[in-house]
Structure 1
Amino acid sequence: MKKIIYLSLMMMVLASCQNPNKIGFINNGTIINEYQEKKDIEAKYQVKEENFRKKADSLGKAFQAEVQVAQMEAQRASQKKQQELMAGLQQKQQMLQQQMQAEQQQLTEEFQTEIDSVISTVKKFVKGYGKTNGYNYILGTTDAASTVMYGTDENDLTQTVLDALNAEYKKSE
């Protein structure tokens, strides 16, 4: 009986001597916001957004000029012709608004799709980084949702992961 107790005690001592879990954490917000691919996507869509605004302004000015011409024609036309002109202008205005809304929505959806892809890339990278470097856990935190309330600087992998992620992105360019 004593041998069984000693053997059990010995096994518990040996089990407690195993390596502890290797845990690190990253600040998700910093990783995503400072990742060069995300910055490049934002810059690309900023240009697209600016081009969209210029196009919308141009169409708006052209429509306003058309309205002025129609108003001048309407002053000389019969009431029935005035109503037809105004109805045509209202219909054209609605079509232009719908077109601009559709283009804006498409731009937003394209941007969101690319950002979702970036987030997926970051998750895969962190998972691979964790496996390669022997981490059991890599936790994520943000200022808005602090899942890591305390961590030592040596466990903060944010800058290390960000540097490695940006280096890999540069290689793929």
Structure 2
Amino acid sequence: MKKSIVLIALAVSIISCNQKAADVKEIKTAYVDTSKLMEEYTEAKDLEAKYKAKSEEMGRELEAEINKFKAEASNFQRNAQANGQAWAQQKGAELSKREQQLSYAQEAMLRQLRQEQGVEADSMVSKVKKFIKDYGKKNGYAYVFGTGEAVSILYAEEKYDITKDVTKLLNDQYKSEGKKEEGDVKAEAKKELEAIEKKK
């Protein structure tokens, strides 16, 4: 009698474990390599290119001002003795002030570019997260994990990697939304440069 009770308990335990294992197997999971996604996502590439071009454009104008300053500083050193101490002190103070202004302008430009790029990047990341959430729901996933720089998964079979699918769909969606014309980007960069010039 005791043997049959133990066998029944053991059988119930095994059936219960098998039931739990079956329940676990039904959970559908996947992962996205977020670093790879951002490397291959067209909008991310366009955003990087936009701010690289904007930085170069703004940098060229600032560099022209810096070169002008260097030429004046060189002339100052050559003419300092010839024009006397009073002139040298006055001109030295002016050059020092201009150098400081150029430094502030460079810092302001970098800060502005970082801030603008940060806002657009945050918006893009939010859009990607929403897309992945919708993709997960639509395709019946209980979990979609992210891997990349901030690893949140230590192992996954490659068959659960949906990075390519998500990247392709995001790129298709981005293309259908319509990209900004390159001329618009240049016009924006030019406006920014003009704004910096007016501040001087």
Q: TM-score range by the shorter chain?
A: 0.7 to 0.9
Bigger relative contact order (CA 8 A; separation at least 6): 1
1:105-160 Cα shifts (integer Å, max 9, x gaps): 11122112211221111101000101111111101111x44432222232111111
The correspondence of residues 63-142 of structure 1 with structure 2, limited to 5 A, is: 63-142=69-148
- Determine if the alignment matches structure 1 residue 21 to structure 2 residue 7: no
User: Is the contact made by 1:25 and 1:140 (CA closer than 8 Å) also made in structure 2?
Assistant: yes
State the SS of the aligned residue for 1:148: coil
1:66-121 Cα shifts (integer Å, max 9, x gaps): 22444455333231221111111111111111111111111122112211221111
* Aligned residue number for residue 4 of structure 1: none
Query: 2:35, 2:88 → 1: CA distance?
Result: 57
Stretches of structure 1 that go unaligned for 5 or more consecutive residues are 1-8
User: Is the contact made by 1:23 and 1:137 (CA closer than 8 Å) also made in structure 2?
Assistant: yes
- Determine if the alignment matches structure 1 residue 150 to structure 2 residue 155: yes
* Aligned residue number for residue 4 of structure 2: none
Q: Which amino acid aligns with 2:126?
A: S
The correspondence of residues 35-46 of structure 1 with structure 2, limited to 5 A, is: 35-46=41-52
Query: 1:92, 1:57 → 2: CA distance?
Result: 14
Stretches of structure 2 that go unaligned for 5 or more consecutive residues are 1-11, 179-200
User: Is the contact made by 1:32 and 1:119 (CA closer than 8 Å) also made in structure 2?
Assistant: no
| TM-score, length basis structure 2 | 0.73
Identity level (%): 34
| TM-score, length basis structure 1 | 0.83
Aligned length: 164
Where do 4+ consecutive residues of structure 1 move more than 4 Å?
15-19
